[in-house]
Copies of this chain bind each other. A is one copy, B any other.
Amino acid sequence: MPKFMDIHRNMKGLTADQLREAHQADLDIQGEEGVTFEHAWADTDSGEVFCLSEAPSAEAVQRIHERAGHKADEVHQLTLSV
């Protein structure tokens, strides 16, 4: 299953609770698109959130994020990994 890194920008000041709730909203529906979100990290100073997932496609990742209310700004398929 391909891996993906997606980026959400302009999330400056995000709290731990907000990140946890947003991530949970993804987890709650991810199975409907065959997506598995593995990790989410945030730089709360500059406002980026990074999500690592396994999914059938970038579109599946984005559909889950959109339905959960937080569309990603970039979704990258990770074609190489070390």
Interface of A with B (CB < 8 Å)? Answer: 3, 5, 14, 16, 19-20, 23, 39-46, 48, 50, 76-82
Contacts and interface: CB of A to CB of B under 8 A. Distances in A.
> Which 3 residue pairs spanning A and B have beta carbons closest together?
A43-B76, A41-B78, A42-B80
Given A5-B50, A50-B50, A43 B82 contact: no
23 contacts: A3-B41, A5-B41, A5-B48, A5-B50, A16-B80, A19-B80, A20-B82, A23-B82, A39-B81, A39-B82, A40-B81, A40-B82, A41-B78, A41-B80, A42-B79, A43-B78, A43-B79, A44-B79, A44-B80, A45-B79, A48-B76, A50-B50, A50-B78
